[in-house]
């Protein structure tokens, strides 16, 4: 197994489950656009509880608020690719929080099977 390390930026996007773009959920559109932009990958995490600028706690424990749980999209890639993607978020996000932080990556890559050469 080969191991690759390096510096990158982590883009973390916090939105609500009900946040929309053109009458559709915004987080799948973020993932679609990240894929189209050639970013290394994107993961969507569904929160079970949280609050934001409104200070209103959204939790799955109360049925009335369960329809707007927190959603986080995480993308890690080279700095220039992350920064080039930010204008896309300007278009898609009307309310939410974006965090950009430096990180060090360790990427594990399976070695090629010598029998296939």
Q: Domains in the chain, please, with CATH?
A: 2-112 (3.30.70.120)
Of 60 and 76, more confident: 76
27, pLDDT greater than 60 = yes
Instruction: Determine the average pLDDT of the residues in 106-112.
Output: 83
Of 61 and 85, more confident: 85
Cβ burial 88-102 (10 Å sphere, 16+ → b, else e):
ebeebbeebeeeeee
């Amino acid at each position: 197994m080969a191991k690759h390390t390096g510096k990158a930026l982590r883009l973390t996007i916090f939105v609500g489950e009900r946040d929309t773009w053109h009458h559709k959920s915004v987080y799948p559109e973020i993932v679609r656009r990240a894929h189209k932009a050639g970013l290394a990958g994107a993961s969507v995490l569904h929160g079970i509880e949280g609050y934001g600028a409104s200070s209103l706690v959204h939790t799955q424990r109360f049925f009335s608020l369960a329809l707007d749980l927190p959603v986080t999209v995480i993308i890690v890639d080279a700095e220039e690719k992350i920064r080039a993607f930010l204008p896309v978020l300007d278009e898609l996000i009307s309310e939410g929080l974006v965090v950009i932080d430096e990180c060090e990556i360790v990427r594990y890559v399976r070695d090629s099977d010598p029998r296939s050469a």
